[in-house]
Chain A
Amino acid sequence: MSQAQSRFVYVSYIRATPERLWAALTQPEFTKQYWSGVSPISTWEKGADWQLVLESGRVADTGSILESDPPRRLVIQWLCHMREDFTAEGYSRCTIELEPMGDAVELTIAHENDHPNSPFIYEGVGTGWPAIISSLKSLLETGEVLTMQ
């Protein structure tokens, strides 16, 4: 396997079952709450198309499902359309893994591409994932999302 040029990894421990966390990651009724109105659209089967759609209807990201093993592992081939320079970097891979540990699930998100010092990976998803996953964790543990400024 070739080594990615740029890679951001975020790990969070969330008091939930893997099934509940999987649903929160894949169902728009959850994502809209903790991810500023964003909806993922996919059947989540291997080979299926995948999109992230903003509240305005604009398609922010497109791609496909490379691997799907609910509720354990999901790999998405991911192209961002929000900034020209991000799009020019080409496809990234986002690997999402869920592992039960005690009363929590260890959620690991590894987002990588083959662009050296990638602005998409380090500025884009590197600042995005900590905020999104913090809000998701609050939703599942307290019933309330975080309101980001």
Chain B
Amino acid sequence: MSDGDELIVPPDVVYITYIRTTPRRVWDALTQSAFTKQFFFGRTVESDWKQGSPWRLIMPDGKTDVAGRILISDPPHKLQVTWVVEWFDDAPKEPAIITYDIERAGDLVKLTMTQHTDAKIPRKFLEGGKQGWAAILSSLKSLLETGEALTIKMGPPQ
């Protein structure tokens, strides 16, 4: 067994970025497929984004990547969802909780993404997840500030 297979309860992953835009545009980018397919590795989203509703993240080939429920919906300030990875069999079935806090800071928005889970996961998924959020949210910032998302070539976590 390599170090990457060791099971651990991961600390919260927190990623903060500052974007020159409005809270409403960040909310729309996170919840509308026209935006997500540009910055979220080609994925679309499906939900009415009301508290208690289901939501899905869908891969370009139509398969469900992630599914969950909306825990908090307070547009355009806060969105909290459960997050269960569906696309591979040995993914943890206990949901992670993803929270987006969208705060106005002058002519900027401070976006804070927090990933919380109580489930033990292989260490290698943790490292992949950290890099994934940085890429997704860097690309979101580029999209909102320049009109163009980033093209990042990245392999899966090893």
Contacts and interface: CB of A to CB of B under 8 A. Distances in A.
Given A14-B138, A135-B18, A141 B152 contact: no
A29 to B, nearest CB: 22
Contact of B150 (A103, A142, A146): A103
Contacts of B130: 9, 11
B98 to A, nearest CB: 18
B106 A102 contact: no
B2 interface: no
Q: Which of B17, B107, B138, B151 has the most CB of A within 10 A?
A: B138
Interface residues of B, number: 26
Interface string A79-106: 0000000000000000000000111101
Given A12-B134, A12-B138, A130-B17, A104 B150 contact: yes
Interface of B: 15-20, 105-108, 130-131, 134-135, 138-139, 141-142, 145-146, 148, 150-154
Interface of A: 9-15, 101-104, 106, 130-131, 134-135, 137-138, 141-142, 144, 146-149
